[in-house]
Chain A
Amino acid sequence: MLEIQTPEAVMFWVLAPLSGIAALGMLLVKKAVHSALLLAWVMVTLAIFYIAQDALFLGIVQIVVYTGAVMMLFLFILMLVGVDASDSLTETIAGLRPIAITAAVGFGGLFVALISRAALGREAVGLQAANANGNVQGLAQKLFSTYVWPFEVVSALLITAALGAMVLAHHQRSVARPTQRQQSIARFRSGSLAGAAGLPSPGVFARHNAVDVPALLPDGSAAPTSISATLKARGDMLESRSFELGEVDNTVTEEK
């Protein structure tokens, strides 16, 4: 017979509403990055629930894999695709929002009704016995005996997924990569001879190694190509003048 102790109850009643609000927020916020962060919060909460329910291994895996790997992957993609891209929240397809909300509310209501009426015909047992040798050992026991076949299949799936991602990300060249000779010819044939000798390698004109401080050209102006276009577009480029040294004080002070 399972007796849920008060600490767990308290933890539940604090964290559950929070995770609900976080989920709702994920739905409603405009910027995608905010949605990602709220989702990460929900996942962490769930990890805490797993641990509270004696699913120790699973709770840690939730944090490591889900929150750690999957959400980071999401954030990376958001970065690639455009952190800026925020949707307007107005609906373009007529009538979709009311339908969706009604359906979902009905859906949820039905779920709740079904769960509350469910008579499982057995008492809640708790995992004391199953975790007798430890949660990891118990899981391993199950995994390598009863569930070995799904285990193998899922590992094959993982490999396939990795391969699939590589294939999708592969950029097939349609024209051959221009050789050094071709690039050189192109440089001389372009409008001006300014770039004839090629661009300076990174850091040639750098005064500072900060990402958002541009390098200075010989005439003192900022070199436009020394800073990421994204940063420039966002106006995060800083003036290098502010970092210039003043007069150098040549006096040597004694170390005391």
Chain B
Amino acid sequence: MTTSTSLGYLIALPLAGSIILLLAGRKADKWGHLLATALSASSFGLGLYQLSQMLALEPEERGFTQKLFSWISVGTFNVDAGLLLDQLSICFVLLITGVGTLIHIYSISYMSHDRDRRRFFAYLNLFIAAMLLLVLGDSYLNLYVGWEGVGLASYLLIGFWNQKPAYATASKKAFVMNRIGDMGLSFAIMIAFATLGTVTFAGVKEASESASTATLTGIGIMLLIAAAGKSAQFPLQAWLGDAMAGPTPVSALIHAATMVTAGVYLITRSNFIFDAAPTAQLLVVIVGAVTLIFGALIGTAKDDIKKALAASTMSQIGYMTLAAGLGPAGYAIAIMHLLTHGFFKAGMFLGAGSVMHGMKDQVNMRRYGALGKFMPITFVTFGLGYLAIIGVPPFAGFYSKDLIIETAFNAGGVKGILLGSMTLFGAILTAFYMTRVMVLTFTSPERWEEDQHPHESPILMWLPMVVLAIGSVTTGYLFTRGDALVHWLEPVFGEHGEHTELLPHKVVSALAITAVIIGASIALVKYQFTEVDAEAPTKVSILTRLARKDLLQDSFNESVFMRPGQVLTRWLVKGDDNVVDGTVRLVGRTALGAGAELRRTQTGFARSYSALILIGALVLIAGIWVITQ
């Protein structure tokens, strides 16, 4: 590990941009967005530079550290504000800054009619800075700072149009549910410090070799809770659908490519903990598996294009989590899927934004149709992303998802078969709902409302989409050629280890492709070749009804947590009013009452006063008598 002096700039540049844009106010309206984009691009350039530096080094030495300043020094607890750039972090750095810059460029045009565009870019830059801090931090505590920062940026950006109360509530919901996850991370840090005495990654890695399994399981479970909150995994996934209230670039950047992947980053970064705590690892796998089915089911019934894509994100991250829970064999594969997903999901979200732009912000897919003719570039880029996500070779998703399915089967035994089947079933569902989205939007006959004139988006919008589409096409092949990514990440995750192959590689691929064909055909039949209702039908199966209601997660949260909470708050308020305020008022009343009683001695008659003096003198003499006894 060599020390570097330029890591800090990765974070400092976008952070400075954010501060400048926020402080400059309306004066910066003309050039603010350009400055923000430039700073984001310069961070990307700096990242590329760091990558080139790393490539020049030996695999074991590919790492840079930088200590910014000594942060906390209390007794035995010493934490430096330090940065670590290793093979895992560089992947994220390039993803964040690369996709981030593309989305900055997209937003210049998408938000051009919004008078608060400058503020939007300030928040975007803030997000980039915080996310970079998250992936560059060298200890759990530094990661936590970035964690909180992205949570803040997400809140600010989801509720960007806070004039609408529903959007403001959505941002609050996201923040509160994230908070539950944050508690998990806090507890993990506390346990790590209490039992292991350190919170840096290197320190914990070293200490974990001799720590008890119970401690590591505890830390692992807490980290899983944190990851579930941030990455919208079961049971903390209810906020992701509502987070689509934010502008589409936000959904693309934060809720597709980067922030929601922070959970996966956390789990893979803590691989040494999970490898040593099998129970925690099993829980990770279970959470991932449940979420991937959960998200896929929800995605099949959503008519809002953004909510459908959000459900898809939830499901895909479920895949990543599942892979991350499969041990050393799966970490690199999870990261690979994360990177490819960043490309095609962001591309699809930008495409959805482009569609909305052309359809006057209509989001109901039942009101789309035949847009492929009018928005060709959008159609092609979205289509490439679609092919990637459902796993058609040779697009990116085929490689990464295929590997996940294979690794799932190779986990061995009943667990392997179960996981493998679930991933395959998820693949069928993915193919189904994504085909549904494609068909409803682009290829089915038009079902527009009055006065719609769809048109292609301006260049600043379709250029990033093209770049991302290229990524969707090529990255899969690039990452798997010669196991490039796996070997790249080996120094971080350790050796692959020997594993039994349950099914040969080709068989898995064939099964995957079959799943895709099944799912896509069902969707084509249902939506392309049959007439689609412009209004959502009400006579639907019970499963569809449940899926429309997000599989009742919101209802559950409300009845189990929200309503008792409201009752509790009401009781507390009543208690505060009556007991606490009552006591205070009692003091006041007592004072007033005492005053009223004492006032009765003020009669105005001199004689009663002289009587009082006489009584006083009597008391004095009595006192003297008592004292001299």
A residues sitting closer than 8 Å to B (CB atoms) are: 93, 96, 99-100, 103-104, 106-107, 110-111, 113-114, 117
Contacts and interface: CB of A to CB of B under 8 A. Distances in A.
Interface in B205-243: none
Interface stretch (B350-358, B571-579, B608-616): B608-616
6 contacts: A93-B603, A100-B611, A103-B618, A104-B614, A114-B621, A114-B625
Contacts of B621: 107, 110-111, 114
Contacts of B611: 96, 99-100, 103
A107 B605 contact: no
Interface string B579-623: 000000000000000000000000101011001001101100110
Among A99, A103, A114, the most chain B Cβ lie within 10 Å of the Cβ of: A103
A1 B307 CA distance: 119
Given A113-B625, A114-B624, A114-B625, A93 B618 contact: no
B617 A107 contact: yes
Contacts of A104: 614
A107 B607 contact: no
A113 B624 CA distance: 12
A103 B615 contact: yes
Contacts of B605: 93
Contacts of A96: 607-608, 611
A45 to B, nearest CB: 25
B617 to A, nearest CB: 7
Contacts of A114: 621, 624-625, 628
Contacts of B608: 93, 96
Given A93-B605, A93-B607, A93-B608, A106 B625 contact: no
B597 to A, nearest CB: 16
Interface residues of B, number: 14
B303 to A, nearest CB: 87
Contacts, number: 33
Given A93-B603, A93-B607, A93-B608, A107 B625 contact: no
A103 B625 contact: no
Contacts of B614: 100, 103-104, 107
Contact of B625 (A93, A99, A110): A110
A103 B605 CA distance: 18
Nearest to B622: A110
A87 to B, nearest CB: 12
A132 to B, nearest CB: 36
B560 to A, nearest CB: 68
Contacts of A113: 625
A144 B628 CA distance: 36
Interface in B138-167: none
Contacts of A100: 611, 614
Nearest to A113: B625
Contacts of A117: 628
Contacts of B603: 93
Nearest to A107: B618
Nearest to B624: A114
Contacts of B618: 103, 106-107, 110
Nearest to B621: A110
Interface in B425-442: none
A99 to B, nearest CB: 6
Contacts of B607: 93, 96
A181 to B, nearest CB: 48
The 9 closest A-B pairs by CB, nearest first: A110-B621, A107-B618, A103-B614, A103-B615, A100-B611, A103-B618, A106-B618, A99-B611, A93-B605
Given A96-B611, A100-B614, A117-B628, 19 more contacts: A93-B605, A93-B607, A96-B607, A96-B608, A99-B611, A100-B611, A103-B611, A103-B615, A106-B622, A107-B614, A107-B617, A110-B621, A110-B622, A110-B625, A111-B621, A114-B621, A114-B624, A114-B625, A114-B628
Contacts of B615: 99, 103
B175 to A, nearest CB: 70
A135 to B, nearest CB: 33
A111 B605 CA distance: 28
A104 to B, nearest CB: 7
B427 to A, nearest CB: 99
Contacts of A93: 603, 605, 607-608
A107 B605 CA distance: 22
Interface string B309-334: 00000000000000000000000000
B200 to A, nearest CB: 83
A104 B625 CA distance: 16
A111 to B, nearest CB: 7
Contacts of A106: 618, 622
Contacts of B624: 114
A113 B608 CA distance: 27
A162 to B, nearest CB: 26
Nearest to A91: B607
Contacts of B625: 110, 113-114
A100 B609 CA distance: 11
A65 B624 CA distance: 35
Contacts of A111: 621
Nearest to B605: A93
A75 to B, nearest CB: 24
A117 B621 CA distance: 14
A189 to B, nearest CB: 46
Contacts of B622: 106, 110
Interface string B238-265: 0000000000000000000000000000
Nearest to A99: B611
A191 B614 CA distance: 59
A106 B618 CA distance: 7
A103 B612 CA distance: 9
Contacts of A107: 614, 617-618, 621
B233 to A, nearest CB: 82
Nearest to A100: B611
A100 B612 CA distance: 9
A99 B625 CA distance: 21
Nearest to A104: B614
A202 B607 CA distance: 46
B594 to A, nearest CB: 21
A110 B617 CA distance: 11
A106 B628 CA distance: 18
A62 B477 CA distance: 132
Nearest to B613: A103
A94 to B, nearest CB: 10
A96 B614 CA distance: 12
A113 B629 CA distance: 12
Among B608, B618, B621, B622, the most chain A Cβ lie within 10 Å of the Cβ of: B618
A110 B605 CA distance: 27
A112 to B, nearest CB: 11
Contacts of B617: 107
